[in-house]
Amino acid sequence: MTLTRRRFLGWMSAAGASTLLGSSANAASSASFKGFPGSFAVLHDITLCVGCRVCEAACNKVNELPLPDKPFKDLTVLNEKRRTNAKAFTVVNRFENEQNPKNPVFAKKQCNHCLEPACASACFVKAFQKTPEGSVVYDHTVCVGCRYCMIACPFNIPAYEYDNPLTPRIMKCTFCHPRILQGLVPGCVEACPKEALSFGKRKDILSLARERIRKNPERYIDHIYGETEMGGTSWLYIAGNSFKQAGMREDLGVTPAPELTAGALGAVPLVVGLWPVLLTGIYAINQRKEKINAEEKRIAVAEAIERTHAQEKQKLASAMEKAGKDAQKEKDLAIKQAVKKALEEAQQGKTEEATDV
C-alpha cells in the first residue's frame, strides 16, 4: 500500500508539474499547432463521391475485418444511416440533397485523425498516439476498456468489441498506418474509382482543396472541413452545399480537445498545494480556539473558586463577628433583664410594703 502510495505521490507531483507546464505551453502553442510537419492527410471531395462502397470493401480487406452479411456491392444498405463499428472502420452514407433532390449527397465517414486527438487526450493509459505520419494509432496491449475515448470523440468514431467478454478492443480506422510506413496510400484512397479521396502531405492537400474551391466557386462552398474543426484534422472535406447536409456537425468549434480539459487539470496542483495548508490552518485555528477556550475556562474556574473562597471567608468572618456581637448583645440583654427584674422586684417589694401599710 505504502509503496503504491509513494510511487503515486511521485506521479502526482510529476503530473501536477507537467499539467502546469503543459497548460502554459499549450496556451502559447495550441492556436498555431498545424500537426507534425510533413504529416499526411486525405481530402474527401464530397461532391465527387457516388456511394459505390468500394472504399468500404478495400478497408475491410486491408484490415482483415469479418465480411458483412450483405456484400459491399449491395447498395441498399445506403438506405439506412450507418456509423463506424467494430467491424467497419469506414462507412458511406447517403443524404438527401435539398437543393437538388435528384442528386443525393454521399459522404464517407471514418476516423478524422485529429491533430490533437480527443481520444488520446482522454485515454488514461496512453493507448492512443498521434504519429508523425499523421495517423492516430491505438495500442490494444495496454487498453483497459473504459471507453472514455468513445465519450470524448466529437466525431463518434471509436467502436468497441462489445461481444468480446475478456479481450475487447477499441476498433477504429488506423489511416492504414502500416501501409503509409511502406510508402503506400491508405486502402480506401487507393480503391476509390472517382478519386473522391486524395492523399498527400497535409500542407499540399490543403492547397489542393483551396485550389479546387477557387477554380470552381459555384461547385463548392468556401470552407474546408477539418482545417480548423476541433483544432484541425488530418482528414479534410470539401462539399457542395453544407457539411451538415452530409451528416457532419458544423458546431464543433475550433478548440482542440486537450484544451477543453486543460483548465480542470491545471487546478490539480492548486488543490494539492492549497488545500492541506488551508485545512491545517483551519485545524490550527480551531485547536488554538479550543486551547484558548480551555485556558479561559480554567481561569474562570479558578477565579470562580477563589471568588467562592473569598466569599465564604467573608461570610465566616461576618458570621464570627456577628456571633461575637450576638454574644455581647445577649450578655447585655441578660444583664439588662436581670437588672430590670431586680428593679421590678424591688418595686414590687416597695408596693407590697405600701399596701401593707
Partner 1 sequence: MEKARSVLYKAIIPAAVVIVTIFGVGAYGRNGESLNGKRADVIMIDALKIFGKLDRPAVEFLHDTHTKALEKAKKDCTACHLPEKDRLSTKYQRLSDVSKKQSMDIYHARCIECHKESLTSGEKSGPVTCGGCHKGKPGTASVREPAGFDKSLHFRHTKSLDNKCELCHHEYDDQSKKLFYAKGKEGTCRYCHKEAAQENRISYRQAAHSGCIDCHRKTIASGEKSGPLLCSGCHDPKQSALVEKVKNTPRMKRNQPDVVLIKTGKDEIQPETRMNFTPFDHKAHEDYNDTCRVCHHKEMGSCNKCHTVPGSKDGKGVSLENAMHQMDSSRSCKGCHEKQKSDKKCMGCHSLIPKTNKDENSCLKCHAKPPKDAMLPILPEQEPLFAKALLDSRRPMITSFSEQMLKEVPEKVTIKVLSNQYEPSEFPHRKIAQTLLKNISTNKLAGVFHKDEFSICQGCHHNSPASLKPPKCQSCHNKPFNEKNPMVPGLLGAYHQQCMGCHKAMEMESPMGCTECHKEKK
Partner 2 sequence: MSEKTISVNKFLTPFNLVAGIILLIGAVITVLRFTQGLAGVTNLSDSNPWGIWIGFDLLCGVALAAGGFVTSAAVYIFGMKKYHSAVRPAILTGFLGYALVVFALHYDVGRPWRLPYPFIVQPGTTSLLFEVGACVALYLTVLFIEFTPAAMEWLGLKKARNIVVRLTLLLTIFGVVLSTLHQSSLGALFLIAPSKLHPLWYSTYLPVYFFVSSIIAGLSMVIFESTLSHHYFKDKMDNTHLTENTDVTLGFGKAASLVLAGYFSIKMVGIAASDNWHYLSTGYGLWFLLELLGFVALPCFMYAVGVRDRNVTLIRWTSVVAILGVVLNRFNVSLIAFNWHLPSSERYFPHWMEIMTSVFIVTIGILVFRFIVTKMPILYAHPDYKETH
> By CB under 8 A, what part of segment 166-185 binds partner 2?
166-169
Is 137 among the residues that bind partner 2 (CB under 8 A)?
Answer: no
Q: Which is nearer to partner 2, 46 or 171 (CB)?
A: 171
Q: What angle do CA 298, 299, 300 make, to 5 degrees?
A: 90
22's grid cell: 503543459
Residues 213 to 252 in contact with partner 1, rule: CB under 8 A: 215-219
Which residue number, 23 or 110, has a Cβ lying nearer to partner 1? 110
Q: Which stretch binds partner 2 (CB under 8 A): 59-67, 69-77, 164-172, 205-213?
A: 164-172
Does 182 sit near partner 1 (CB under 8 A)? no
Q: Which is nearer to partner 1, 57 or 143 (CB)?
A: 57
The verdict on 263 binding partner 2 (CB under 8 A) reads yes
Q: CA–CA separation, 187 vs 210, rounded Å?
A: 25
Q: How far is the CB of 231 from partner 1 (least distance, A)?
A: 24
The β-bridge relationship of strands 170-171 and 159-160 is antiparallel
**Angle at Cα 231 formed by Cα 227 and Cα 233, nearest 5°?**
50
CB of 113 to partner 1, least distance (A): 17
Determine the size of the site formed for partner 2 (CB under 8 A): 74
**Measured distance CA(350)–CA(39) in Å, rounded:** 150
Residue 150 half-sphere exposure, CB side, CA atoms within 13 Å? 17
> Using the rule CB under 8 A, is 289 a contact of partner 2?
yes
Distances (CA, A) of 268 to 26, 230, 274: 17, 25, 10
Considering CB distances under 5 to 8 angstroms, the limit depending on partner class, which of partner 2, partner 1, none binds residue 85?
partner 2
SS3 of 313-353: the string is HHHHHHHHHHHHHHHHHHHHHHHHHHHHHHHHHHHHHHHHH
Tell me which of partner 2, partner 1, none is bound by residue 55, counting a contact when its beta carbon lies within the kind-specific cut-off of 5 to 8 angstroms: none
| Binding partner at 323 among partner 1, partner 2, none, C-beta below 5 to 8 Å by kind | none
**Smallest separation, CB 213 to partner 1 (Å):** 11
C-alpha 295/C-alpha 287 separation (Å) is: 12
| Minimum gap (Å) between residue 97 Cβ and partner 2 | 20
Instruction: Please tell me whether residue 249 binds partner 2 under the rule CB under 8 A.
Output: yes
- Residues with Cβ within 8 Å of 113's Cβ and at least 6 positions away in sequence, in order, are 130, 134, 135, 136, 173, 175, 233, 234, 235
Rule CB under 8 A: is residue 50 a binding residue for partner 1? yes
Q: Give dist(CA 63, CA 66) in Å, integer.
A: 9
**CA count, 13 A, side-chain hemisphere, 238:** 27
Q: Does 263 bind partner 1 (CB under 8 A)?
A: no
Binds partner 1 (CB under 8 A): choice among 198, 233, 234, 245: 198
Tell me: does residue 7 bind partner 1 (CB under 8 A): no
| Distance in angstroms (rounded) separating the CA atoms of residues 112 and 204 | 17
Q: Which of residues 19-48 bind partner 1 (CB under 8 A)?
A: 48
Interaction between residue 211 and partner 1 (CB under 8 A): yes
SS3 19: helix
Q: Select from 82-90, 91-99, 142-150, 199-207 the region that touches partner 1 (CB under 8 A).
A: 199-207
Q: What is the DSSP letter of 117?
A: -
Q: Which residues bind partner 1 (CB under 8 A)?
A: 48, 50, 52, 73, 75, 102-103, 185, 189, 192-195, 198-201, 204-205, 207-208, 211-212, 215-219
